[in-house]
Structure 1
Amino acid sequence: MLTKEKIIARNNVNVIGSGPQTLMLAHGFGCDQTMWHYLTPELRSHYTLVMFDYVGSGQSQLSAFSRSRYGSLEGYTQDINEICDALELADVHFVGHSISCTLGLMASIAEPGRFASHIMVCPSPCFLNDPPDYHGGFERVDLEELISLMDRNYIGWATYLAPLVMGTNSSEVLIGEMTASLCSTDPLVGKTFAQATFFSDYRHLLPQARHPSLLLQSKTDSLANEGVGKYMHARMPQSTLRVLPTEGHCIHMTHPALVLGEIRAWMNP
């Protein structure tokens, strides 16, 4: 059993703000907690924010990484609940981006008493196409080629993926920020997390959602198209779908004012 101090160090946990409601901000694949910096100045004035890095990302402890634990999403989910336990959190509003939306859902199913709601930013429970009823966005062969590119040319992989994630019309500054983040991830950890993210299918968990959920869908998103949001909304109890007039998979970075407005409205109905 890890101590509170070791869990906080392992995941580089930071708590800022002092509002009565707690938001736990969980970054997506290839990112770290700094990707929330477009939202945190405003959010910290109203809420207590719990931020962290998944093992292998940001300033987490790389020594804690093992393929046996993090080869599937369950390992990352366990980390979320260990952080909640260490900080004795309750009534957590889990703000996840991309794959973290699924991780937050898994964590709340495992320990429902810890959580109050979900705010899902560009969520997807499965990135693979499963015709005829589900269009996740990628054929398996395309994802396998993307993983192969990570082995052959890690910098080239990051340079290719960043504009796809951010949206082709995003500024060079934002695309550069994403490229740098992808490049900073240890290649072994990055590949392991990528495989766990892009080849998993957790659609079966959607009907098990026990808390109200806000789905923030980007109108144009190469990684999670509008149909994915509609699919989730149709199968998740107590879910609300908001399709925003945005482009890209990182709308908390490209359109922070819109996302802030949605979060505030959700938290203060």
Structure 2
Amino acid sequence: MSISERFAINEKGSGTKPMIFVHGYGCDQNMWRLVTPYFEPNFRVILYDQIGAGNSDASAFVKSKYASLQGYADDLIFICDSLELSGITVVGHSVSGMISLLAAKKRPELFEHLIMVGPSPCYLNDGAYQGGFTRDSLEELLEFLEINHRGWSSQMAPVIMGNPDRPELALELESSFCRTDPEIAHHFARTTFLSDHRPDLDGVVTPTLILQCDEDAIAPVAVGEYMKASMPNAQLALLHSEGHCPHISAPDLVAETIRSYLRAQS
């Protein structure tokens, strides 16, 4: 199987500078469909499905490799090397913000900019650090997911998406969650929510934009502020938007914020 088939790689756009979009937990590349058109005139836009998601080859999922986010970061590096990319802008949603950060830490020469949408280096509260969850609440969430994947998807999608006045958004996210293999979904959730990559933040010098919604049940504003303070070359853009998926609920705002940042960096 080719790398394009393994990761369901799609390329769009008429530009030459590469821009890779990496989806978050329980999603696939289709979640970027409202944002990528803004960048296709000027970039070589590349999308892929992480192993176990979307149209990727689920048989390539190996528990030991994906027991840490570094396994997913190594996939991102592998794709970049296979496509012979350099000077890359990578846009990662949620956990994929940290996946792209780990990739940039390991191979900084590949990446020109990191754009993180709703990232979190640690979801657990720890003293003065407020990640948003207690250990007990996270374990309860993960146990519920393991026991009842469909029920978890139905209950959590509205919380994650926010925007209760637009229920169709939560329904789309719920449908995406339900399409993921339950065993892989639980494994990835445990890897995501129990990871702690705070020590990695100050080791990444790639220019970084952190997009943080001012109402996000998964990654509170304090997390974005912590990341900005911990990273040597990061900017924080606070989006006046609700939910953890602004690229679906407020794509115009997300795209324009990214474009303004990149213009200022050029």
TM-score (norm 2): 0.97
Bigger Cα displacement from structure 2, 149-158 vs 187-196 = 149-158
Residue 231 of structure 2 aligns with which residue? Answer: 236
Tell me the secondary structure at the aligned position of residue 211 of structure 1: coil
Contact 1:80 1:107 in 2 (8 A): yes
- For the aligned residue pairs, the C-alpha RMSD in angstroms reads 1.1
Query: Are residue 124 (structure 1) and residue 110 (structure 2) matched?
Result: no
Q: Distance in 1 between matches of 2:91 and 2:163?
A: 25
Q: Give 2:203's match in structure 1, choosing from 191, 202, 208.
A: 208
Q: How does 1:189-200 map to 2 (within 5 A)?
A: 189-200=184-195
* Residue 38 (structure 2) pairs with residue 42 (structure 1): yes
Once structures 1 and 2 are overlaid, which stretch shifts more, 98-107 or 14-23? 14-23
Once the two structures are superposed, residues 2-38 of structure 1 have per-residue CA deviations (whole angstroms, 9 ceiling, x without a partner) of: xxx6222111111111213221100000000000011
Percent same amino acid among aligned pairs?
Answer: 42
Mapped partners of 1:170, 1:108: distance in 2 = 38
What is the total number of aligned residue pairs between the two structures?
264
Q: Structure 1's 226 and 95: CA in aligned 2 closer, same or farther, altered over 3 A?
A: same
Separation in 1, partners of 2:45, 2:236 = 24
Q: Among 77, 81, 88, which residue is 1:92 paired with?
A: 88
Aligned to 1:59: 55
Equivalent-residue separation in structure 2 for 1:31 and 1:173 (angstroms): 16
Aligned runs of 1:1-269 on 2, under 5 Å?
Answer: 6-131=2-127, 133-169=128-164, 171-269=166-264
Quick check: 1:124–1:229 contact (8 Å CA) kept in 2? Answer: yes
Off by >3 Å, runs of 4+ in structure 1: none
Structure 1 unmatched ranges of 5 or more: none
SS in 1 for 2:20: strand
Give deviations 1:187-218, integer Å, cap 9, x for gaps: 11001100000000000011011211011110
C-alpha separation in 2, matches of 1:125 and 1:79: 19
Cα deviation, residue 113, structure 1 = 0.9
* Residues 127 and 137, structure 1, Cα contact 8 Å, conserved in 2: yes
- C-alpha distance in 1, partners of 2:19/2:165? 27
SS at match of 1:89: coil
CA distance in 2 between partners of 1:170 and 1:141 (Å): 30
Query: For 1:170 and 1:39, how far apart are their aligned partners in 2?
Result: 22
Local SS of the residue matching 1:48: strand
Question: Compared with structure 1, are the counterparts of its residues 209 and 170 closer, same or farther at alpha carbon in structure 2 (3 Å cutoff)?
Answer: farther
